[in-house]
Structure 1
Amino acid sequence: MSLSYDRVERLKLIESLLPTADQGASVGFSSKQIIEKLANSNPDLILTARTIQRDLKDLISAGRVALHHKSENSPTYVQVAQDDEIDGPVWEYFIEHLKVELEGIVSNTDLAKLITRLKKPDDGIALDEKKICILPDSLRLKPAVIDYRIFSSVLKALKERLSVRIRYKDRQENVSEPTLHPLGIMQRGPRIYLVALKDDGGSERLYAVDRILKVELLGTSDKKTGSFCFADYIARGKADFSDGEMIELKAVVSGYVETLLYDCPLNDSQKLIPMQEGEDGSLLTVTIPSSGQLLRWILSCGSNIKLLSPDELSVTVRDQIKKTYRSYFGSIDLS
């Protein structure tokens, strides 16, 4: 059966919208509900009941969807949960492509995804890098070098919920061989990290994948790794992008920072009020998560931002500025 690109995407969308069979006997969507959800997801789709019935028939034949409640008026359908184990040939094909992809890995952005689509001559408008460019607003570091075989083993363990024993070299060149229970993969800046539980207990830990020297796949993990969620992990401040402790930040911004924030707010709570006549800049007030990322951003603004509150963050910023000054000009009293 030959499938067009649009139909393949529609089949994937139908499958993703359906509830899974293990969510309880009361769930399941009728073809009418599926059409409504598809229309909400993509208003450009032109759908008929006959088209959806044909799609559902093919998905059932492929073992991706199952009939949930049989009824002459409105039968309902569910998504079939797929086995975690990866088919051998599929895995080999994936590893070959992973080797190539890792050589040029960069941070994902929505614009980058859009450009990928725009470049397609049949599905986009055939615009490429000659006409569209993405430049980061911070210095782009070269990605840490990752052995694709190490990374593929980590991904396999994560997918199949296996424990692993790794050989790991830390920043001090110390080598250890912990047994881990993988929870997730996170890219932060130019590095990729494995989030995992150690076999001896404790909370989640971060392991830079480029520092992993060897991976040994073990049996199925006895930890409840399936309940891990990155949203919760980040909210607890574990990834340095915390949205757990919210602060009200007040600062005077000027120069390029003032202009940038008028056009690109930090978030919806941001308020910018021009200073009184004769004073430069604007008063910035915003409710924002307290994090290392925020501190680094404030320091990167230099003299274009003067932090007023909260006091604790202001003290941290001043201490960092003092240390920087002393590293250049020596021990001068800056108290």
Structure 2
Amino acid sequence: MPAQSKPKTLARLLDLLQAIPRRSSVSATELQERLRERGHGVTLRSVQRDLQMLRDHFPLEVNESSKPHSWRWGVEADQGIGGMSVPEALMVTLVKQHLQAALPAHMIDGFATVFEQAGNRLQKLGDHVEMPRWADKVRVVTPGLLQMPPVVNPGIRSVVSNALLKEVQIEVSYARASQSQDATATRSRTERYTLHPLGLVLRGGTTYLIASKGFEAPPGFYAMHRILRARMVSHPIMPPRGWSLDQWLSSGQAQFGMKPGSQPIELVLACSSLMGGMLQESPLDEDQWSESMSDGRVRVQASVADTWELRWWLVGRSAEVEVLAPQALRDEIRHTLRQALAGYEAAPAASGADTTDFSPTSDRLRHMLSQRRPH
């Protein structure tokens, strides 16, 4: 064996050992594909030869009655290369809790044994060791109203993730939300698209496919749970010129409702002292500035993306935040608040509805509107 090939051979053998599962079994063909994903161009015959050689030195099991033969780690491989360290087990456990949806779908089954191994590793240590308890002390909480994540069909996730990896187009049937008056009726219409997958974005418990409909077409959001059918096609994707997911997100496109090519707006707010302090701790923009106002509030100015999400944020905090500029946005928020007030002042329409007095809420909305002085 030439000296210069030894490091590459060692790396390939180590990756092969790591690719062999513990509880389930895989064929040499599947292991060949896993090695290719890790950057090793190797023939099936070479994989088979490596497996036989490694079997002489490591506790590997082969099911020779299956066609093709399948491989797995033996039960005595809980320690050593087949096992994992405590920090590794802790990291895998946290990944399972918070990032599992970000893994390519075809890897989930392979990671199931890794997740199980990590759980067993931490459980064996017991409560007398500090580090395993870290997984019980860390959680990722989505801001806003807690909602159960929508269910994504595993087959759809597999097609989409494979298309992303292979950089090919997909044909989908997509259920778009409609404006149905009846909330209990089917509120979606199905449309067919040919999409160019560009990336995945996780927002809270919801996963979105970022995709365009063709060359130079602006990318958009497609909720994974609304994709009813999907299949890969052989045509390569045509991303926008100079496409970068990070740059696209940093431009504010991760916020819903931003029109392609739209420019940020100069937002000027009159905030309560509490909200002003919160915005100083977590600014809306790198160049945000603020100053005290004569009425005790805080004037905040920042350059922000003009999106639906901005409007949701402003309406949700309307008791603490008044829009001073731009005037069009101020008028829009005023109109939204007046609609809300009209709904609260009307008697509940549903029969048998709770007749609790909502006047405090209405009074608060009315007070907020009365404080919206022209500027």
Structure 2 counterpart of 1:188, from 182, 203, 215? 203
Q: 1:77-107 deviations in whole A, cap 9, x for unaligned?
A: xxxxxxxxx9645789614157899xxxxxx
For 2:329, the aligned partner's letter is: L
Counterpart position of 1:107: none
Structure 1 counterpart of 2:337, from 318, 321, 325? 321
Question: Helix, strand or coil: the match of 2:163?
Answer: helix
Counterpart position of 1:230: 245
The CA deviation at 1:222 is 5.9
Residues 163 and 221, structure 1, Cα contact 8 Å, conserved in 2:
yes
Structure 2 counterpart of 1:144, from 129, 142, 150? 150
Q: 1:216-240 deviations in whole A, cap 9, x for unaligned?
A: 2221326357953224544676543
Structure 2 counterpart of 1:167, from 164, 173, 179? 173
Structure 2 counterpart of 1:301, from 295, 317, 325? 317
| Closer, same or farther: CA 151–126 of 1 in aligned 2, 3 Å | same
Residues 217 and 240, structure 2, Cα contact 8 Å, conserved in 1:
no
Counterpart position of 2:162: 156
Residues 253 and 283, structure 1, Cα contact 8 Å, conserved in 2:
yes
Structural mapping, 1:66-105, within 5 Å: 88-89=33-34, 94-96=107-109
Counterpart position of 1:45: none
CA RMSD in angstroms, aligned pairs only: 4.3
Q: Distance in 1 between matches of 2:215 and 2:327?
A: 39
- Are 1:258 and 2:258 counterparts? no
Name which of structure 1's ranges 225-234 and 167-176 shifts more when overlaid on structure 2: 225-234
Which consecutive aligned stretches of 4+ in structure 1 deviate over 6 angstroms post-superposition?
Answer: 90-93, 98-101, 331-335
Q: Distance in 2 between matches of 1:222 and 1:269?
A: 37
Q: Distance in 1 between matches of 2:153 and 2:272?
A: 45
TM-score (norm. length: structure 2) = 0.51
Question: Helix, strand or coil: the match of 2:284?
Answer: coil
Name which of structure 1's ranges 233-242 and 299-308 shifts more when overlaid on structure 2: 233-242
| Closer, same or farther: CA 311–227 of 1 in aligned 2, 3 Å | same
Q: Distance in 2 between matches of 1:317 and 1:244?
A: 20
Q: Distance in 2 between matches of 1:233 and 1:315?
A: 29
| Closer, same or farther: CA 58–295 of 1 in aligned 2, 3 Å | farther
| Closer, same or farther: CA 94–179 of 1 in aligned 2, 3 Å | same
Residues 236 and 244, structure 1, Cα contact 8 Å, conserved in 2:
no
Counterpart position of 1:5: none
Question: Helix, strand or coil: the match of 1:267?
Answer: coil
- In terms of Rg, which structure is larger? 2
| Closer, same or farther: CA 247–206 of 1 in aligned 2, 3 Å | closer
Residues 254 and 304, structure 1, Cα contact 8 Å, conserved in 2:
yes
The CA deviation at 1:157 is 0.7
Aligned pair count reads 237
Name which of structure 1's ranges 249-258 and 196-205 shifts more when overlaid on structure 2: 196-205
For 1:146, the aligned partner's letter is: V
Q: Distance in 2 between matches of 1:197 and 1:133?
A: 34
| Closer, same or farther: CA 60–250 of 1 in aligned 2, 3 Å | farther
The CA deviation at 1:258 is 2.7
Seq. identity, % = 22
Structural mapping, 1:1-335, within 5 Å: 58=7, 88-89=33-34, 94-96=107-109, 128=134, 130-171=136-177, 172-198=187-213, 202-221=217-236, 223-224=238-239, 227-234=242-249, 238-240=253-255, 245-254=263-272, 256-276=274-294, 279-330=295-346
Residues 105 and 158, structure 2, Cα contact 8 Å, conserved in 1:
no
Q: Distance in 2 between matches of 1:216 and 1:268?
A: 42
Q: Distance in 1 between matches of 2:241 and 2:303?
A: 33
The CA deviation at 1:190 is 3.3
| Closer, same or farther: CA 170–100 of 1 in aligned 2, 3 Å | farther
Structure 1: 5+ residue stretches without partners: 1-55, 64-85, 102-120
For 1:327, the aligned partner's letter is: G
The CA deviation at 1:285 is 2.3
Residues 172 and 228, structure 2, Cα contact 8 Å, conserved in 1:
yes
Residues 98 and 148, structure 1, Cα contact 8 Å, conserved in 2:
no
